[in-house]
Amino acid sequence: MDPLPIFETQLKTLCLELIVDNFDSKHLKFYSGRWNEITEESRPNFGPFGCQTKRLPCNDDTDYTPLDCNTIELISKRCPKFEMLHYHKDLGIGIQYDHFDVCKVINRSIHRLKHLREISFRDFFVENDTIRIITLNCPHLKELNLRDTDLSDKALNYLYDDESVVKYSLSKLIIDGTVVSVESVAQCLLKLKNLTYFLSDETIQACLRIFEEKSDSLRNFEFPAFRGSLYSENERLLNHEFLEWFTQKFIKVNHVIFVAIFEKSKSIVTRIVRSWRNITHLELFSCDLCRDSFSQLKPAFDCCKETLLNLKLEAFVKVDIPYLGRVLKRLRKISLYNNSYLKTDVIQPFENLKEVEIILISVSFEVGRFKKNLRNMHLNHNSLLSIFKSKYIEKAFIYGQSRFTNRFMLTLLKLDYLRNIKELNLFSCPISIKSLWELFERGIPIKKIVIGFCPFIRVSEINELSVYIKENNYGASISASMEIPYHLKSILKNMELID
């Protein structure tokens, strides 16, 4: 009996099913070009991928993307109900595909993905035409992340023009790190009526323009987060009438991000923080390196000391660690990026701290305005003890701190300050493998250790400890990283604003 004929379309479908049903790490893109150096343990595996699949788990702050250029088109044909499209590139390494080719694939695939609810092109060179096609074909789109893209005013205008179908559905829009104009940001605030989350560096300037035009069309927002740049127009922003009007427009904010803070901006920060009484997250990036930039913001910290849970400070001068520990009693996480610090003989513990980031990373510290502060950019012994004395510390990320040594680690262990540590990331610190063995010998319940660029630790020593961990069923992992963590790449970009 002759076999049944197999049509060309059936063969195409069969091949497509074989490719997508076995979707795993071989379809991922690792931006560094060092895919072979990544261990099997660290490779994401997304498992079976059927035609009813709606999304792949994805984190913006990762070196992996679940969608490479070819897979985007396969998914659009195989998974018509797919809800999430994610494509970004690494800030410091380059593009795996020519961005024109990627945009062409997206452009010819997007019309098949009518159910998309979330799109992220963070760090990607997205074409104007790609944004236009999205606005015409994605009526269910809720979230659009264009952070650190080359977004143009023309592309942004597509979101709210007459033909756009996303202007009725879009509730979350992220466009910080772009060079779009104040006028375009103002139009987003005025015309995208369903926004419940919006981040742009130009938000406060856009509000100032609307205020000065005496417009009553700006509604009150209930955004949980607010981001603003204070690099210019400080005298106009100091207008009391404007600040009162502005803070009333964003009365529900609890996560505040201010970037490019100069000397005249500090009083604006304090007045806004005082008006928003429920701030739980505060992120501040200073461009004022020549002065005591930290102390001028103490009134702002005093205003939110009863509510603040997360604090991030970047590029401040003379940060006073004991003061922060004394005032911010409820603080759960502190992130300290490229600051200089006051020397202190005082040990003032942070009572409820659970997560710590102390980062010193830049290519420009030996020159320019950083040079005179370089020596004080390493926390001294007492400041480090103040931070780690909290009995609740579960996660620590230390990068480039010369005083985080074997001796200091041993001190922490002897004082039992690491008794609850679950995750430890150490980059460019002068410690040896001995300190890490000590963690397990003392029964510390750690689950994850990542080591990067530590000059006194060899990869072979890490592998030896990894074998010991497995053989003794500690339920932990240790790995070596060959790259700057993805979420820290933005620091290098921020330094360009200062130099």
pLDDT at 76: 86
Q: How far apart are CA 494 and CA 258, in angstroms?
A: 13
**Residue 331 and residue 311 in contact, taking contact as beta carbons nearer than 8 Å:** yes
Alpha helices, DSSP H, located in 304-380: 321-327
Q: What is the mean pLDDT of residues 407-419?
A: 96
Q: What is the mean pLDDT of residues 297-306?
A: 95
Q: 187-221 pLDDT, tens per residue? A: 999 999 999 999 999 999 999 999 999 877 899 99
Q: 480-499 pLDDT, tens per residue? A: 998 888 788 777 766 665 55
pLDDT at 226 over 60: yes
Is position 36 within any domain?
yes
Task: Provide the domain count of the chain.
Answer: 1
pLDDT at 289: 65
pLDDT at 471 over 80: yes
CATH number at residue 93: 3.80.10
How does DSSP classify residue 488? G
Range scoring the smallest mean pLDDT among 49-63, 69-83, 347-361:
49-63
pLDDT at 32 over 60: no
Q: 134-143 pLDDT, tens per residue? A: 999 999 999 9
Q: What is the mean pLDDT of residues 272-283?
A: 95
pLDDT at 49: 58
Residue 298, CA distances (Å) to 81, 244, 327 in order: 51, 21, 10
Q: What residues make up the domain containing 18?
A: 1-194
Q: What is the mean pLDDT of residues 105-110?
A: 91
**Residue 197 and residue 222 in contact, taking contact as beta carbons nearer than 8 Å:** no
pLDDT at 302 over 70: yes
pLDDT at 53: 73
Q: How far apart are CA 165 and CA 116, in angstroms?
A: 12
Contacts of 146 (CB under 8 A, 6+ apart): 121, 122, 126, 173, 174, 175, 178
Is position 120 within any domain?
yes
**Residue 171 and residue 196 in contact, taking contact as beta carbons nearer than 8 Å:** yes
pLDDT at 292 over 70: yes
Give the end-to-end CA distance of the chain in Å, rounded to a whole number: 79
Is position 88 within any domain?
yes
| Confidence band, pLDDT 50/70/90 cuts, at residue 26 | very low
Is position 416 within any domain?
no
pLDDT at 131 over 60: yes
| Confidence band, pLDDT 50/70/90 cuts, at residue 56 | low
pLDDT at 95 over 50: no
Is position 85 within any domain?
yes
Is position 205 within any domain?
no
Is position 83 within any domain?
yes
